[in-house]
Structure 1
């Protein structure tokens, strides 16, 4: 792609933003600037983030490495240790003479000093500050499309956030009439949900104007003809069942590349491509544009390679999101989305304190509690299916699960094969617990340290929830490898209470010195006859030690058990509810309210603490 002349690169990221653009066929969107950009650029119709929430997605957009390759980068609000060899694109571009700026969000899920990566990372960062003659790469983040834009300026949360980051709490009057909003089939038709959709269109209008101002500045500086403009989002949207979930609404992002004429072979003006791609391909695209050799650890080819490729696949997944544990892996072909849910004993929708600041989530839960949801709307509150398969051409809202259909057996088998190959190829760390010594790119690749193929076979058996696998899970509990033992325990947890013959093995596993084995084993026992000793084990982990991740997993387990027996351990729940960690505190407060019988969907579960305030002060806003 390189020509020997380094182009400037303007990379615009709108936060939490789905492709609600006129250029993507949205008739309600007022986006003239982005529509014009698409007319002279290449638009990727099926572009997806690597994860449906900001910090894991932004790790991938900084490094070109899938977040699940380097846990805990795949877990919301973590700080994965950076290997010495892992280079980021601003570092490499600076070494090749580029002036690199970031305005201003970081949130990389990596233990790096963001200011050391960039020539300038601040709200004042701009290409106009570069030395004379230097090519530039300038990243601008538009924050007002963040989900907190829907929370309401009057809320205590918004008022507290505004002290440090007023751009995050822009509130909008609905930009379109509420009765013109098209609600997806999985949501009930309520005024609150319609208002959230209509209000977000106003955020889109402001975002489009922001893009227009940047393009005007390029034009005023005489730089438009020498600059590649790249526009995308870190992940999908913020309405219910979007952000944090591995469906279209959570992963589908806008992606437009408008390049100078000399790059027309890679990015034809006015072209549209239906090839599935992910935001992991942006980093190698930047290297290719700058004529820099791509580091070996980058896992995807540049975007130009996909323009005429109809056979590509886009992979994604989620692990812990905020205070809730989950493990989902998904692959998107041109027509179908396929998901494997490795925690089928949990519902799709779990209460998450930050998201529940939005009226839409509160309204959906009220409709669920009142029994007013139809099957398409209510299925997400039930334990999730092991496998999901959706035909996006016929079912764009993904409400009709086609997994197991005889007529689609070949499609399902091919997507399962592709997903397994990808899981092994990137050495997916997501099957490792937070307390595992094997977490991380290098640690997990030490020969013999992480038997991923064996773990994956066991996890795949677990998601089937078939009692014929009981003996296999019991045998796994005796493994010297704690990850194998953990997935044996999770397999039995998925079968509980139908674990006849496994009780003694689970009692031994509940006393395992490794928390990530003990907790699911004890939960399985607790679900089988309400064994008080099992509750004691979980409560001990919930209240003991400094490992917040362990305590959080234990509080999550208590949240799905018999409240009468959990009340015997109320002091543990109350301690969690007062903890300085945002996620442990939120999980504890929610559980305390449910034990009191005072929880309602509008209960103020989320509360700011020292950790989130510190993040705001450094402009690393909760994503």
Structure 2
């Protein structure tokens, strides 16, 4: 029986089809490897086997040991072409990285903890926008938000932008996205799509049955895959998970939160939903294991932007733009290691392409951090950038653009309209209203936090080593003026390179929302 490659015109399928068609799928792959190493075509090797099997058997035995000794090269990137790499990418939704158990947070994450023991934990991973849609567009395209056109929320990329789905499909991969998408238009993101809509997963979560079928088909047909399993958790309304594991009275609130019963209840539900997400990670890893794909699959898990509590999502503080990241790649990434290398979401696409041995387009903003994964480098970038386009967010301000540059230690923030109070949909929540009530009753901490969240200066500078919550603004501190000026200039140059006109870009942001796209179309799932 001839396997269905799903796309016989693909490079990978064409390379292997002649031997597979003769009913020798396993031997065919082995012979192709050997033929390539000695300068023969696969079909010439096949003819030798069929016409003089005894001679060729002795020849193969003679080759076995040296091939075994040198055959460790390809499993990676450009080193060879034995078996293609599979990719499993798992992403949370609105999850502050420091709340994960693997970063010392209170959320119980046993599956992620197990993954960390088998791979690399990144301590300085950042994204370029602290909200869902721009983040995902950036990740899949390898482009920063303004350059791709996808900088407000609920957005879409410019005509002609290509994504990870194009690059891997053209190499013979099946490229699937299960769960939350939030990218447009479909022609720019031609994934195979599936959503879970049952009670267990909920709309927008990975469909584990669909994932199971995909992995089985890929295994049966010897087809490589790039699978993106994108959760909708722990995004509000925080109604999943076992909240009894997080008694509200026992949890520890971040130092800038106003301690009210409403906040404790909401934060406990949020922590429970992180554990629900961790269970989804476990399900994905179990499916990879059950299909015998662990050794050939690079697994990456990220936490996306921060939660929807104050000073995280929709802001350029560290808790908004920093992300958790764990990578497991058996035989390539050392187990139980950590890295301080600074990487960004725009670097993920070129890294996947590099690891798979595929060409990296020259016009991407991101750069491969494969050397970091392989232990050949301990650094990657010196500055990471971020932006928040508030126009178009639910219940947001008319204009409130934010831009940021982050070095290994300091975060610089520029608020484009500091005279305008900041707001978003979170301010409708019961727990935010409890902050406002506490402030009205004269509680000093509540008054300070409510004011700080809504009214911000033109420039902010934070020492993220000593002040991880970004509470002490050093922008006017004489001792830090060199740092402020250096990061301000780096940010200015980045905006210039990206075509970011600052407030003018903010004013026209609604033109970049999918509902206002010049051509009608249906949003992807």
Say whether the fold is shared (TM-score over 0.5).
yes
2:385–2:491 Cα contact (<8 Å) kept: yes
CA distance, structure 1, for counterparts of residue 386 and residue 371 of structure 2? 20
Q: Does 1:296 align with 2:359?
A: no
1:447-471, CA deviations, whole angstroms, 9 ceiling, x for partnerless residues? xxxxxxxxxxxxxxxxxxxxxxxxx
Over 3 Å counting, the alpha-carbon distance change for 1:360 and 1:33 in structure 2 is same
1:231-251, CA deviations, whole angstroms, 9 ceiling, x for partnerless residues? 013322222222111112211
Match of 1:74 in 2: 151
Over 3 Å counting, the alpha-carbon distance change for 1:171 and 1:269 in structure 2 is closer
Of 329, 336, 339, the match for 2:413: 339
Q: Does 1:423 align with 2:512?
A: no
CA distance, structure 1, for counterparts of residue 187 and residue 341 of structure 2? 35
The structural deviation recorded for 1:196 is 1.8
Over 3 Å counting, the alpha-carbon distance change for 1:434 and 1:407 in structure 2 is closer
CA distance, structure 2, for counterparts of residue 204 and residue 270 of structure 1? 22
1:278–1:314 Cα contact (<8 Å) kept: yes
Of 240, 248, 251, the match for 2:321: 251
Q: Does 1:359 align with 2:433?
A: no
Alignment of 1:226-245 (within 5 A): 226-245=296-315
Q: Does 1:98 align with 2:177?
A: no
Of 266, 282, 299, the match for 1:212: 282
Match of 1:545 in 2: none
Alignment of 1:597-612 (within 5 A): none
1:264-289, CA deviations, whole angstroms, 9 ceiling, x for partnerless residues? 3xxx3322112222111111111112
Larger deviation: 318-327 or 215-224?
318-327
Match of 1:406 in 2: 478
Match of 1:25 in 2: 104
2:142–2:350 Cα contact (<8 Å) kept: yes
CA distance, structure 2, for counterparts of residue 421 and residue 305 of structure 1? 27
The structural deviation recorded for 1:369 is 3.8
Over 3 Å counting, the alpha-carbon distance change for 1:300 and 1:171 in structure 2 is same
Match of 2:137 in 1: 59
Match of 1:46 in 2: 124
Gaps of 5+ in 1: 150-168, 440-547, 553-580, 583-610
1:388–1:403 Cα contact (<8 Å) kept: yes
1:55-83, CA deviations, whole angstroms, 9 ceiling, x for partnerless residues? 11111011111112233x11112334x32
2:241–2:276 Cα contact (<8 Å) kept: no
Q: Does 1:11 align with 2:89?
A: yes
CA distance, structure 2, for counterparts of residue 549 and residue 93 of structure 1? 30
Match of 1:117 in 2: 190
1:366-396, CA deviations, whole angstroms, 9 ceiling, x for partnerless residues? 3334442426524425531111011122212
Over 3 Å counting, the alpha-carbon distance change for 1:330 and 1:433 in structure 2 is closer
Larger deviation: 126-135 or 272-281?
126-135
CA distance, structure 1, for counterparts of residue 242 and residue 436 of structure 2? 23
Match of 2:459 in 1: 387
- Under a length normalisation based on structure 1, what TM-score does the superposition of the two structures give? 0.62
1:386-436, CA deviations, whole angstroms, 9 ceiling, x for partnerless residues? 110111222121111011211112211221122122222222255434675
Partner secondary structure for residue 475 of structure 2: coil
Q: Does 1:147 align with 2:236?
A: yes
Partner secondary structure for residue 254 of structure 1: strand
Match of 1:313 in 2: 383
1:74-118, CA deviations, whole angstroms, 9 ceiling, x for partnerless residues? 1112334x322x21111110110111111022111x33347x702
Over 3 Å counting, the alpha-carbon distance change for 1:36 and 1:171 in structure 2 is closer
Partner secondary structure for residue 274 of structure 1: strand
CA distance, structure 2, for counterparts of residue 277 and residue 361 of structure 1? 33
Match of 1:284 in 2: 350
Q: Does 1:396 align with 2:468?
A: yes
The structural deviation recorded for 1:180 is 3.4
The structural deviation recorded for 1:22 is 2.3
Partner secondary structure for residue 200 of structure 1: helix
Match of 2:291 in 1: 221
Over 3 Å counting, the alpha-carbon distance change for 1:364 and 1:304 in structure 2 is farther
Match of 1:515 in 2: none
Partner secondary structure for residue 365 of structure 2: coil
Q: Does 1:189 align with 2:259?
A: yes
Of 381, 389, 401, the match for 1:327: 401
The structural deviation recorded for 1:172 is 5.3
Alignment of 1:515-526 (within 5 A): none
CA distance, structure 2, for counterparts of residue 408 and residue 198 of structure 1? 38
Partner secondary structure for residue 74 of structure 1: coil
CA distance, structure 2, for counterparts of residue 146 and residue 112 of structure 1? 24
Match of 2:78 in 1: 2
